[in-house]
Amino acid sequence: MNRFLTRPISFNEVKTAVFGMDASSAPGPDGMGASFFQNFWPVVGPSIVEAVRSYCHSGHLLRSINHTHIVLIPKVQCPMNMGHLRPISLCNSVYKILSKVLVNRLQRFLPEIISESQSAFVGGRLISDNIIVVQEAVHHMKSCRSGSNRSVALKLDISKAYDRVEWGFLEAIMRKMGFAEGLSEMFRNAEVQRLIHGVKICCNGPPISHLLFADDTVVFCKAKRSELQVVDSILKDYRNASGQLINFQKSSMFFSRYAGPDLSSNLSAFMAIPVGGDLGHYLGLPAEIGKTKTEMFSYIKERVLQRLARWKERILNLAGKSVLL
């Protein structure tokens, strides 16, 4: 694997990366989007290939190539503070091309180095798989009639997931390249040692201890202090190693039918995570599908109406849209 990843960059690799980019993507400080490099590839192609090869050989990147425009996108309808805004980076196209060349090389090995519990980043793994499993697990927790089967689900909010990762943590992992993925592997080891027990949706099905899609994480275990102590220890170890922080106030806990208010409040106080009547939304869809489906999915209608309202702006040319913005 390392031999393949470190071999010299070929002309076709760079060309494939350029023509695999979205031609209409927003440009960075250079003002030139992917469409420019695609349309004028016979002219600029050799220079782009040389720039990519130069970086991969020397590891030196010109500071001007790394310049970025940062744009703030509202998370809510009426943002009141910086926490309500999501920053995105508009990078120079050469920077995007270089990144895509490296991503294309690494992509073939992702199924080997990303655990099965992580549904993002790997072709063939669908976001809908996680949504369906969580909905089934929550339904089972609510409908299970066994008083001894008391479980808890934790939906974790990782604060600024991509910004807080320590470079040393990434470098230590990348040196091995055959690594077992950090957080997911820690939960799996705890499950193998029977320190935590996941939720079984059906009698013959395997227990589910955790699900991940990028940084969206749901953990299932028994509603016992001993198992939540293991979960808390895993999260602390992962935080200390990676630099990532769990936003406990934005996280939530959901208990199964027979957990009881006293047990729920005690375990909630121990984890410092609020208890909810359900898990709310997971990956953009309700974690529980109840009887009031019209009310539950009303937000989809609102989103469609908002998009329809913006369609009238499409009759404007690029200059008109710039004036409007």
Summarize the confidence of residues 192-211 as an average pLDDT: 72
Beta bridge partners of 213: 216
Q: DSSP states of 95-146 as a string?
A: HHHHHHHHHHHHHTTHHHHS-TTB-SSSTT--HHHHHHHHHHHHHHHHH---
Q: Model-level pTM? A: 0.55
pLDDT band at 40 (very low <50, low <70, confident <90, very high): very high
* pLDDT (tens digit per residue) in 41-94: 999 999 999 988 888 777 777 888 888 888 898 888 888 888 788 888 898 999
Q: Give yes or no for residue 39 having a pLDDT over 90.
A: yes
Q: Torsion-angle region of residue 121: left (phi > 0), alpha (psi -120 to 50) or beta?
A: left
Q: Which of 41-50, 60-69, 124-133, 140-149 has the highest mean pLDDT?
A: 41-50
Task: Give the start-to-end residue ranges of the domains of the chain.
Answer: 2-108, 112-290
Q: Give yes or no for residue 211 having a pLDDT over 90.
A: no
State residue 180's pLDDT score: 44
* pLDDT (tens digit per residue) in 284-315: 666 766 656 676 667 777 777 776 676 666 66
Q: Does domain 112-290 have CATH number 3.30.1330?
A: no
